Amino acid sequence: MIKRTGLVLLAIIVVSLISGCTANMSAEQIAQQMKEKQESIKDFSATMVTSYAFGNESKIAKAKIMNKMPGKSRFEYLEPAEMAGQIMVNDGKTIWNYYPGKNEVTRMAIPETERSYEPDYTRFIKEILNQTDISYQGTENFEGRSVYLIKASPKDNSKLMGIHYSMWVDSETWMPLKIEIFDKNDKLITSVEYRDIKFNTGIPDGEFELKMPEGAKIVEREPPEFKQMTLEEARKEVNFTILSPSYLPSGYKFSNATVFKFDNKESVSLLYVNGSSTFVLTERTVDNTPQPDFGEVEKVSINGVEGKLISMPGSNMLVWNNGNIELMLSTTFGEEETMKVAGSVK
C-alpha cells in the first residue's frame, strides 16, 4: 500500500463528499472506496517540488521520485545544489542511500515486520470528519489532469493555531497533486507539487536498484531498533534521565514508552492516550543539530527556559532543552494545556 498522511486521507474523504455519496455511507464504506482507489495505482513517477518558509528564509527542494507498489521507491534530489545527486532507493527489502559529496553508499535491510503497511482507514476517517471543516471550490486543470480544488481547516482553530490548507486532488486516482499550507495570517508556509506525474506506466524493477558509483565506500547500517516497554523499563534502557509530566489533561493516562536506537543515538517517546486522542513526549540527548522550523513559530518560556511552539498540519509541537536533554511535546490540544503539560515535566 502507499503510505498516506492525514492530508491524503482527508483529500480522499473530501472527494467522496463532493460526489455526494457519503451522506448514507459509514466510515467503513468510505474506507473501502478509498482502499480501492489506492489499489488502482500500481506505480507512479513525478518531479516533486517542495517549498517552505521558516523565519525569514525560504527554501525550495526538487526531486525525481518513482514508486511501485508494494514497497518499492526511488528518490533523487535535483535541488538545492548541496543535496543534488543524493539518491535513496528502496527495493522492498533493502534501503540504499548514496551521498555524492562523500562518494559513500549506506545499505540497510528492512525488517520483515516493516515491509508491509496497512493503515487503519476507518479510524483515520472518523477522526478527520470529526475534526475538519471542508469546502469544495470547483474543478481545475493541473499538469494536464482534472483536479478538484478543496479547502480545509480544523473545526477547533486552537488546535493548529489557525493553520489551513488547499489541495488539488486528482479526480481519477484521488491523489493530491498539489498541497498548500497557510498560517493564521494566510501566509504560505509550505507547498508540495507533483509535476509531470504519470500513473501505471509499468516502471521496471531495475529502476529500484542502485547502480554502484565507481570507488564508492559501502557502509552497512543496522535497522533502527524500537522497543515498547513500561516507563521503568525504558529508564534502564537509555543512558540519560527520562523526564515525565506530573500534569495530564483530563482523561489522559500513560500508555507506553518506545525506545529508539540507531547509529549510537538514543531517544524515547512517551505515549499518553485518552480514547482515540493521544499526545507524545519525545526526549533525546542534545546534539546541537540545527532543526528547521516548518510552520508558524512562537517563542515561549517553559520554567524560565526558552522554547519554540510550532504549529504544523495535524499537530502542535513544543520544543525546548532541559540541561542536556532535548524535549519535543506533540499535541492536538490548545496552547494553554500544552504549556501546562510542558511546565510539569521533571
Model confidence at 319: pLDDT above 60? yes
Compute the average pLDDT of residues 139-163.
Answer: 78
Q: How far apart are CA 167 and CA 148, in angstroms?
A: 8
* Domains contained in the chain, number: 2
Q: Please check whether residue 274 lies inside any domain of the structure.
A: yes
- Cβ proximity of 35 and 28 under 8 Å: no
Residue 210 resides in a domain: no
Confidence bin at 49 (pLDDT 50/70/90): very high
Question: Do 169 and 49 fall into the same domain?
Answer: yes
Q: Are 337 and 331 in contact (CB under 8 A)?
A: yes
Please indicate, yes or no, whether residues 195 and 270 belong to a single structural domain of this protein: no
- Whether residues 47 and 195 fall in one domain: yes
Q: Considering the domain boundaries, does residue 216 fall inside one?
A: no
pTM of the model: 0.68
**Rounded CA separation 84/76 (Å):** 8
Note whether residue 220 is domain-resident: no
pLDDT at position 128: 60
Helix (H, G, I), strand (E, B) or coil at 201: coil
pLDDT in tens, 156-187: 655 555 678 888 888 888 788 998 988 777 88
Which of 158, 184, 199 corresponds to the end of one domain?
A: 199
Measured between alpha carbons, how far is 39 from 41 in angstroms, rounded to an integer?
5
Q: The domain spanning residue 296 has which CATH number?
A: 3.30.200.100
| Residue 15 CB neighbours (<10 A) | 25
Residue whose entry in the numeric block shows the C-alpha cell 558509483: 213
One domain, residues 232 and 161: no
In a domain, 43, yes or no: yes
Q: Is residue 54 part of a domain?
A: yes
Best CA proximity match to 341, nearest among 254, 227, 268, 229: 254
Last residue of a domain, one of 199, 216, 247: 199
Is position 337 within any domain? Answer: yes
Tell me, what DSSP letter sits at residue 314? T
**Cβ neighbours of 154 (radius 10 Å):** 18
Do 78 and 174 reside in the same domain of the chain? yes
- Other CB atoms within 10 A of residue 13 CB: 26
Closest alpha carbon to 115 in 67, 75, 69? 69
Shared domain check, 165 and 22: yes
* pLDDT given at position 4: 43
What CATH number did the domain enclosing 100 receive?
2.50.20.10
Structural domain for 66, as ranges: 6-199
Read off the C-alpha cell for 244: 515525565
Res 5: pLDDT: 44
Which carries the bigger pLDDT value, residue 73 or residue 52? Answer: 73
- 124 and 248: one domain? no
DSSP symbol at 70: T
229 and 305 both lie in a single domain: yes
Q: 193 and 266: one domain?
A: no
| 74, β-bridge pairs | 66, 89
Regarding whether 268 and 168 lie in a shared domain, the answer is no
From 184, 199, 214, give the residue that closes a domain: 199
Res 228: pLDDT: 83
In the prediction, which pLDDT does 277 show?
85
Higher pLDDT, 139 or 270: 270
Task: Find the length of the chain.
Answer: 346
Are residue 191 and residue 246 in the same domain, yes or no?
A: no
Helices (H) and strands (E) in the chain, counts: 5, 20
Question: For residue 153, which of 132, 138, 136, 169 has the smallest C-alpha distance?
Answer: 132
In a domain, 213, yes or no: no
